[in-house]
Structure 1
């Protein structure tokens, strides 16, 4: 009887190991197939060049200061505006850059639909910059935003990533990718 139990256990163990290996190989094939279809795209406007994955594309921006906007393709609505997007803006600076950026967020904090999460100094493309993370409640629901500000030629630039809170972390890697390869001329 012990031999039958031992043989049955060995067969069951071998079957279990086989199923695990088949599942792992299948999962790797699915992941590599989905990444094979992605290409790296490039967009240049207003002295900024960015690269982004091909499952993102041009979209309309809601800001008058926008020089370019890209969005996750499956998040773009009928009006051409992406719910998961990266927007690059350029604004003229009045006075000191640090004061300009800080005043922007001080005025936003007066609005109850705005909640500052964090802020601090960072570097982008070898330049000193400021990073702000905040949430806001808009007509489309609650969103999370990550904005990186820097100064160039008397202009304030901001690269801002926005997404519904439920999608923010899942797509943050694209914003990090865009920032890691940004070219500022």
Structure 2
């Protein structure tokens, strides 16, 4: 009888804990998938509070922006073939252009991987004309179509840590499509 009573108490406590975790939003990070962007041969997930945007930058093939702050965005760009076919070299060519501006401040450049695919992550600041600073993370990746893409995250410096998970969602789910066939294995 005591064993059954203990089991019932444990079950009731687990139900209460689960309800408390659900109510507080603790489970949101495990269940949130966001919205899906699928256009121009690419697909990725982005936060529910964001929206698709039109981007006029060179090579832009997709863009999303925080609905509450248009200074926070992620733009996907296809790198011009003139930059070469190697992500290290392409990133170096881009660095040369950036370093010509006195508004550019390099933070770091690291080699990493996303889903066992080599990437170059370049983090830098840009001093904006209005006196503010924006932090950028440019993730350079060569996909199975042999083209290089940049996943460019931009945010005011003071929002970087709070918004980084939004960038991680986009970068972690970025993929190419070809008639609904994946060209890049996603194993999240």
When normalised by structure 2's length, the TM-score is 0.71
Extract unaligned runs of 5+ from structure 2.
1-19, 177-182, 184-188
The alignment partner of 1:178 has SS state of helix
Distance 2:81 2:161 in 1: 31
The Cα RMSD (Å) is 2.5
In structure 2, the partner of 1:4 is none
From 38, 45, 48, give the equivalent of 2:39.
45
Compared CA separation, residues 55 and 102, structure 1 to 2 (3 A): same
Q: As a proportion of its length, which structure holds more helix? A: 1
The alignment partner of 1:83 has SS state of strand
Bigger drift between 93-102 and 139-148 goes to: 93-102
Residues 92 and 154, structure 1, Cα contact 8 Å, conserved in 2: no
Extract unaligned runs of 5+ from structure 1.
1-26, 76-81
Q: Say how many residue pairs are matched.
A: 152
Measured after TM superposition, the shift of residue 142 of structure 1 is 0.9
Measured after TM superposition, the shift of residue 124 of structure 1 is 2.2
Bigger drift between 43-52 and 107-116 goes to: 43-52
The alignment partner of 1:175 has SS state of helix
1:10-58 per-position Cα deviation (integer Å, ceiling 9, x unaligned): xxxxxxxxxxxxxxxxx9787429x59x762101123321012210111
When normalised by structure 1's length, the TM-score is 0.72
Matched, 1:176 2:168: yes
Compared CA separation, residues 108 and 31, structure 1 to 2 (3 A): same
Structure 2 counterparts to residues 147-162 of structure 1, below 5 A = 147-152=138-143, 153-162=145-154
Matched, 1:32 2:25: yes
Residues 61 and 87, structure 1, Cα contact 8 Å, conserved in 2: yes
Residues 117 and 141, structure 2, Cα contact 8 Å, conserved in 1: yes
Distance 1:128 1:39 in 2: 24
Matched, 1:108 2:98: yes
Residues 33 and 45, structure 2, Cα contact 8 Å, conserved in 1: no
Residues 147 and 158, structure 1, Cα contact 8 Å, conserved in 2: yes
